[in-house]
Structure 1
Amino acid sequence: MYTEIVIGLLLCFYLTTSKCKVDESIQRISKYEDLDLERQLKLLNKPAIKTIKTEFGHIVDCIDINKQLAFDNPLLKNHKLQLKPSFQDTKLNENDKITRHLKIGLGKNSCPKGSVPVRRTTKEDLIRAKLLPKHSGVLSRTMPPGYEITYDHKKEKKQETPFDRSL
């Protein structure tokens, strides 16, 4: 009886201290990694015309429509942005008008004309992205057709399952 209690206490102690070490290793990053994250943030977060805090607690920057992240792609360097469609859609009804407005938690705030809302990237976002499985892209390229890959991060387990594309 006494040994079971001691083993239980030791197990609890081990589990609590090992979890703390994992959390500390995520929070502790080297100066080099911190500088690298800052450099990435400067590239990702464009200068804002207006900044809005959403009802979800995110920070959204309104950036110039011509400086949006999509235009950082080399294939779109000389792309001309078309603000209005070149055709008139005569079948637009009330339901379409309602669903056209994206609900991203801006509330009554909106971006000025000529700008687009972009969620500000944080260091935590970049760190979280680094923690994703590193082999996910390699695995998807080597899978036979008709299969998909799922990854359960809680169980740290990869599962290959067939799926039906006829849906």
Structure 2
Amino acid sequence: MENKTKVIIVTDGDHTAQEAVKRAATNLNLYPLMITGGNPTNLSGEQVVRYIQDAPFDPVVIMTDDKGKTGMGKGEKIIDTLLDCNDITILGVVAVASNTNVRGVEVDLSVNIEGKIVNGPVDKDGFEEKYKHKRLEGDTVEILKYHPELLVIGCGDLGKMYGMDEVDYGAMITTKCFKEILERSGTIIV
């Protein structure tokens, strides 16, 4: 029987994102691995794997952040390491939009500023991109284009989006992203 640790990846790690991740994870009885927060994330992929394996329960939510670095930054190296780990199952990725000049990644769906599911990408503020715009531009998302098997859910800047994702209001959009990943991966939370 397969006994892999289930993981959700979030491609953001600044203070506001950390608070939203913590609240949303608590809302859904997920384990937020707060040590992975930071801008950038200051851990190696191997360290993150060990922390995941030591988590008291799963699914575990981790954060990866490149602090806007182009190319293969620390956050993307962590994702790469997790993809190679046989003891971990990645349920999905919350790809966070930012004002970064990158090619971006196609998403399976996004959660917009109103908490609604949309078929295309959203911008940093959570607004749906124009019809012909197909990619979500964000920090730490470039590696995802090499892994089309991953479930990728786009959203705006965690904990923000004109107050719609504030922790005081339950981090509604971050929570919705996690719920979509859990439902689409067939994961049941008790």
Q: TM-score, normalised by structure 2?
A: 0.21
Higher helix share: 1
Q: Which has the higher contact order (CA 8 A, sep 6+)?
A: 2
Q: TM-score, normalised by structure 1?
A: 0.23
